[in-house]
Chain A
Amino acid sequence: EAGVVQSPRYKIIEKKQPVAFWCNPISGHNTLYWYLQNLGQGPELLIRYENEEAVDDSQLPKDRFSAERLKGVDSTLKIQPAELGDSAVYLCASSTDRDRNEQFFGPGTRLTVL
Chain B
Amino acid sequence: QKEVEQNSGPLSVPEGAIASLNCTYSDRGSQSFFWYRQYSGKSPELIMSIYSNGDKEDGRFTAQLNKASQYVSLLIRDSQPSDSATYLCAVNSYTGGFKTIFGAGTRLFVKA
Could you tell me which A residues sit within 8 Å of B by CB distance?
Answer: 33, 40-45, 56, 89, 91, 98-108
Contacts and interface: CB of A to CB of B under 8 A. Distances in A.
B99 interface: yes
Interface of B: 4, 8, 32, 34, 42-46, 49, 51, 88, 90, 92, 97-100, 102-105
A40 B112 CA distance: 24
A10 to B, nearest CB: 11
Contacts of A91: 43-44
B45 A56 contact: no
Nearest to A50: B98
Nearest to B107: A40
Contacts of A40: 8, 104-105
The SS class assigned to the B binding surface is: strand
B88 A42 contact: yes
Nearest to A105: B43
Contacts of B43: 89, 91, 105-108
A56 B44 contact: no
Contact of B100 (A45, A104, A106): A45
A41 B38 CA distance: 11
Contact of A43 (B44, B51, B92, B97): B44
